[in-house]
Chains A and B, each alone.
Chain A
Amino acid sequence: MKKVFSRPKSLIDRQTHFCPGCTHGTAHRLVADAIDHFGVQEETIGVSGVGCAVFMYDYFAIDAIEAPHGRAPAVATGIKRVHPKKIVFTYQGDGDLASIGTAETIHTANRGENITIIFINNTVYGMTGGQMAPTTLLGQQTTTTPYGRNFQNDGYPIRMAEMLATLEGVAYSTRVSMHNAKEVLKAKKAVRRAFQMQIEGMGLTFVELLSACHTNWRVKPLEGQKRVEEELIPYFPLGVFKERKGKDFL
């Protein structure tokens, strides 16, 4: 089997608290890879949302802060305005970014803050035990949609990458997946691209990573990856929804 990557240097060598096989771990590696690739470990400040990935500072060998639930983009705004030359990124789940923090997400994007947002869409609230997320698919059972998500009661799953692509402040908006090695490689490129564009001062970069939360989906890890491919991708298509080619700001 092809080794996709070894442990990046900006990841601390320690066991994570993630459920075995959780793609949060993969996403951490992708971010750390980009940090290493651009040699910016000592220039980077990370902001974690509240969710399964709240412990960013335990895993990344970088300066980091924990934001209140949903507020990571506002916290990152404050940091980036003080340190415009540093690399600032947020790492947020779907509950964090697309529910409680929707206003902060949209307005940070709309201001074109020169930061990178890493968005983990696993269609549930992982940390709190698998409740409905704004991205939960129609019909999907969660602990608060025991009969399946029903649009008449719960509305529809939000496509964040597409929505943010409509904003002038956004330089790059893409959706990638991590359900197999090939997709992970593509995701790696996307995360690198986002960091590169931040380094070039192009505006807000947004990478949505389709992720599996097999624990709360109540399936085996491999079935989780299969669900991403067969159920998530048809509703959340992969692709680049916006990519600024130069600093062609209005």
Chain B
Amino acid sequence: MTEKILLKGNIALAKGAIAAGCRYYFGYPITPQNDIPEYLSAELPKIGGTFIQAESEIASINMVLGASASGVRAMTSSSGPGISLMQEGMSYMAGSELPGLVVNVMRVGPGLGGIAPTQGDYFQATRGGGHGDYFNIVLAPASVQEMFDLAIKAFELSDKYRNPAMILCDAILGQMKEPVVLEETKTVIPPLKPWALTGSKGRKPQFLKTLYLSDGEQEAHNLELKEKYDRLREEDVLFETKGLDDSEMFIVAFGTVSRIAKTAIQMAKREGIRVGMIRPITLFPFPTEVIRETAKKTPRVLVVEMNTGQMLQDVKLSIENSVKLRFYGRPGGGIPTPEDMLREIRVMFNEEGF
């Protein structure tokens, strides 16, 4: 099937999950992601799946935990306040090494905030978010096509590493419609999971836990988890680059902002300023290497986000102090325009005179 169909981002994501073989969805309503549970509540029963509207996001994530422990691909989706309630469960999933997909269609905060688009949950997503020493695998789509593709990718990575994965996107991506090519969807058979709880028939009983009380046990467990995160950093960093070869400076932006940045880059080109871009697709693991190497050649970086500077910290950690770094951010539902970005590009250009 290579024909293009017009889909809303949230629906593309739900279709991606089904394509990945996910048949278990547990969630609690919250705007701006309600299309996902609404769509899946209609589709999953038709294909032998299970949809439960849970009593809370705490229950949702723990149902995901239980289903995942039983060996299947399972997911939930939410936004800000609900994602906060899931942090306990996600910490337990990381601790007992359970895969599973959590979708965060971000809304502004703190608190109840509002439903305007934002990237304000970057820290929560990429720093673990819950208690303990762990990370989530975090993927940031920038198009409706990627809402579909990265849902599949998220399940693959989550299973590969036995670690929760998160899709981090904003309301614009969730709500906008774009043409999408759906891959052949019928063939994905999720991998067998010999560690899953299925009843102990024909084998020794097995268990999943997060409590380690005897001497050194917890430290050994944390070091094992670290090895996993190191492997992720080595094997599964995803990013997109644009026009880096002959650029005089480059932008780092993810998700929706990277789309706006492309327009700004074209406007700058018309003024004779060559601007490249690196778009992290995995926010954890972060594409540190490519940013570091690019900044060696092109030591002028503009970070643009829809927050007050969160990914900025990861960019800072990737580059030398001598690299000229500028940040432009719009929090609380403000959306940076191409003109805003062009203005920032000009400031850097004039200051540096490159």
Contact = CB atoms under 8 A, between A and B. Distances in A.
Contacts of B202: 42
Contacts of A103: 55-56, 58-59
A76 B63 CA distance: 7
Interface stretch (B205-213, B223-231, B316-324): B205-213
A111 B59 CA distance: 13
Given A57-B209, A66-B209, A67-B62, A75 B201 contact: no
Nearest to A41: B200
A129 to B, nearest CB: 16
Interface of A: 41-45, 47, 54-55, 57, 60-68, 71, 74-83, 86-87, 103-104, 106-107, 111
B185 interface: no
B68 to A, nearest CB: 7
Contacts of B24: 78, 81-82
A42 B200 contact: yes
Contact of A74 (B59, B68, B72, B96): B59
Interface string B47-75: 00010101110111011111111111010
Contacts of A65: 66, 69, 96, 197, 207-209
A81 B58 contact: no
B199 interface: yes
A63 B200 contact: yes
Nearest to A85: B199
A103 B59 CA distance: 8
A86 B198 contact: yes
B63 to A, nearest CB: 4
B201 A43 contact: yes
B88 interface: yes
A48 B210 CA distance: 12
Contacts of B88: 68, 71
A39 B329 CA distance: 63
A97 to B, nearest CB: 14
Nearest to B89: A68
A60 B62 CA distance: 22
Interface string B15-28: 00000000010100
A108 B59 CA distance: 9
B92 interface: yes
Interface in B84-143: 88-89, 92, 96
Given A75-B69, A78-B66, A104-B62, 16 more contacts: A63-B198, A63-B205, A66-B208, A66-B209, A66-B210, A71-B65, A74-B60, A75-B66, A78-B64, A78-B74, A81-B50, A82-B71, A86-B198, A86-B199, A103-B55, A111-B52
Given A78-B63, A104-B62, A44 B71 contact: no
A42 B50 CA distance: 24
Given A63-B200, A63-B206, A77 B52 contact: yes
18 contacts: A41-B200, A43-B199, A61-B200, A62-B205, A65-B69, A65-B207, A65-B208, A66-B96, A68-B65, A68-B88, A75-B65, A75-B66, A75-B69, A77-B63, A78-B63, A82-B72, A83-B199, A103-B59
A74 B66 contact: yes
B27 to A, nearest CB: 12
Contacts of A77: 52, 59, 62-63, 66
A86 B198 CA distance: 8
B67 A79 contact: yes
Nearest to B98: A65
With most chain B CB atoms within 10 A of its CB, the pick from A55, A75, A80, A86 is A75
Contacts of A79: 66-67, 69-70, 197
Contact of A83 (B198, B207, B211): B198
B72 A107 contact: no
With most chain A CB atoms within 10 A of its CB, the pick from B71, B88, B96, B207 is B207
Q: Which 6 A-B pairs have the closest CB atoms?
A: A78-B66, A57-B207, A74-B62, A82-B70, A78-B67, A107-B55
Given A78-B24, A81-B50, A103-B56, A42 B199 contact: yes
A86 B209 CA distance: 20
A75 B209 CA distance: 13
B59 A71 contact: yes
Nearest to A104: B59
A77 B210 CA distance: 19
A81 B52 contact: yes
With most chain B CB atoms within 10 A of its CB, the pick from A44, A63, A64, A111 is A63
A143 to B, nearest CB: 21
With most chain B CB atoms within 10 A of its CB, the pick from A83, A86, A111 is A83
Contacts of B50: 81-82
B62 A68 contact: yes
A230 B40 CA distance: 53
A107 B59 contact: yes
Contacts of B65: 67-68, 71, 74-75, 78
Nearest to B67: A78
With most chain B CB atoms within 10 A of its CB, the pick from A41, A71, A104 is A71
Given A81-B24, A81-B50, A74 B197 contact: no
A51 B131 CA distance: 19
A191 B239 CA distance: 55
Contacts of B96: 65-66
A57 B173 CA distance: 44
Contacts of B210: 66
Interface string B167-201: 00000000000000000000000000000011111
